[in-house]
Structure 1
């Protein structure tokens, strides 16, 4: 696996953004029966989701989070040297969503802007990219935006995914700090798993047509078009159990930390059953690996910053450094992990009004 240790980089703040109010999975449009939904809830750990309206994008949510982050940190937009957006659901094919956020946040022309097209592991790779720019001296301050609106890619008649995914965005502030501890990163990929979590049509391999819009029923009775997300749940489960425990061991060894000494594991919130199985294999204590998929669903790479602002906020706001391991895994296949100390981190979760776009205001903010 690829790996690196980077110095002089600190995470200053993390803000999550969700659209409107939570929706019970019982109220999400799907063809699942109440009995089937109850079974999913018990197995996966789902209760509530957040879903965007038709006019709202991942870029809107991320930009709202970034506005709150800049305000809370008292960072001048002119001081930002880079803004990177991790998303699989961009506002447009082009330009990159980072340029839209750059405009809305009124950043200056010395600021780098680009997108990273990754999913479940994307937050880790975004942090890795931002940290490399800072550690190399190319940037002093970077905003990392990460968000997806996977609900727009889901068929309500596909029982394997209909109530699994929620929508969310986030913004993370990173800054040069000569006194910061090391950041250890480890990652890997396996393109052999590309077919097991994908949207087959709608881009340039299978451009929009009557064929890509046509719906078909698979052997399990799930109905979807080529423009909808298709997932082989068993293959994803097996991949996760094969790759994640060795990934955790590799990154903790690189950082020189025994697993029992880690204060917090921030796992991608893919599935409650999977997370509990991973924790058991690694012999983690319950308090080491919080789970909050019940409150947000699977929000792609955004599940990791959401866990930070929701379940780990009090610990990471402390002045006492916490040993933190952030672990992403999924679509690609792709996996990545970061081991670093975090302290005095500003955190918040904002709720963005329905139909609010990045140029209009938030309805609420919770500090």
Structure 2
């Protein structure tokens, strides 16, 4: 499905990262593999450091911390928020919605919209599209998009496939109406037949957690995990990304009437270094235009890797300059989406640490 929006713009992006840092080298002994095998994978996959929350920290904690920072720095006013969207797969509770928890903690006004969206790797794209839809309403002028996940708490420490890359983070993006005539081009696609390619089998109503679901078992590759843990079929995800994402971007560029060279940056979800460099090579995109440094520095925090790539790699340069950016998210669902948008003259674009 292709989408088109006018008179909408992003005016600020803040990434909130847990201060707690874990290194791959410190966890090598957790895995049933030789040290030489692990070091080789570290280089290929981009395993290095990742930021993870301390026990007891929730998505609402990260989001409230970031929003409070913006309020105190006078970069955002509470009364100006007309809609609050939270995209997460790690909510504080099954009910109530975590966006309502955040609303209550910050004592926001009653005359507004709050909603949770359950999306993962493409969640930032889905959330931006929802913000653009809401801004079509006459009485909605400013939307706050929260994208946050703490999936490190749902990964087995003895699972070398997933544990070395999964990080935690939150991002706050402000979206507003715009008088400029720039067009935003978007695409969203889904294939639920492979929904189990990225899954936490137990813990929901289909399979409640119990003693059996917490028992560690060894897979064919020697990883130890339980049904309560995140499980990814790496080959399915890799093939899906290499097959579908180049086509999606190619078709979206045609819709926008653009050549791939016209895009200044390709800010894509970063599952790992290997997938992203292979994707860039297949698409004929210079690596400097498609940054792939977020996983090795902070870990893969699902869809939050896109705004983190922007805040880390562009930072202050996007405060006074405007770039044509192609964003893409892909993974859990399976779901994939993309946007081509002018990004510039932001009020803020930075990273802060959560203690």
The bucket for the TM-score relative to the shorter chain is over 0.9
Q: How does 1:222-301 map to 2 (within 5 A)?
A: 222-292=223-293, 293-301=295-303
Classify the secondary structure of the residue corresponding to 2:212: helix
What is residue 330 of structure 2 aligned with on the other side? 329
**What whole-Å deviation, never above 9, does each CA across 1:152-211 have from its counterpart, x for those lacking one?**
110112221121111111100011122252211101000111111100011000012222
TM-score by length of 1: 0.92
Classify the secondary structure of the residue corresponding to 1:174: strand
Distance across 2 between alignment mates of 1:125 and 1:152: 24
What is residue 361 of structure 1 aligned with on the other side? none
* Contact 1:21–1:351 (8 Å) recurs in 2: no
What is residue 358 of structure 1 aligned with on the other side? none
User: What is the aligned residue count?
Assistant: 351
Cα distance 1:68–1:183, how it changes in 2: closer, same or farther (>3 A)?
farther
* Contact 2:328–2:337 (8 Å) recurs in 1: yes
* Contact 2:20–2:53 (8 Å) recurs in 1: no
Structure 1 stretch displaced more, 23-32 or 283-292 = 23-32
CA RMSD of aligned residues (A): 1.6
Distance across 2 between alignment mates of 1:36 and 1:67: 44
Q: CA deviation at 1:321?
A: 2.1
Classify the secondary structure of the residue corresponding to 2:126: helix
* Contact 1:15–1:347 (8 Å) recurs in 2: yes
* Contact 2:270–2:292 (8 Å) recurs in 1: yes
Cα distance 1:263–1:71, how it changes in 2: closer, same or farther (>3 A)?
farther
Q: Which runs of 5+ in 2 are unaligned?
A: none
TM-score by length of 2: 0.95
What is residue 11 of structure 1 aligned with on the other side? 10
Distance across 1 between alignment mates of 2:322 and 2:25: 40
* Contact 2:7–2:182 (8 Å) recurs in 1: yes
Q: How does 1:124-163 map to 2 (within 5 A)?
A: 124-163=125-164
What is residue 217 of structure 2 aligned with on the other side? 216
**What whole-Å deviation, never above 9, does each CA across 1:13-47 have from its counterpart, x for those lacking one?**
00001111432211247325533331222111121
What is residue 351 of structure 1 aligned with on the other side? 353
Q: Which runs of 5+ in 1 are unaligned?
A: 354-367
What is residue 24 of structure 1 aligned with on the other side? 23
Distance across 1 between alignment mates of 2:215 and 2:311: 40
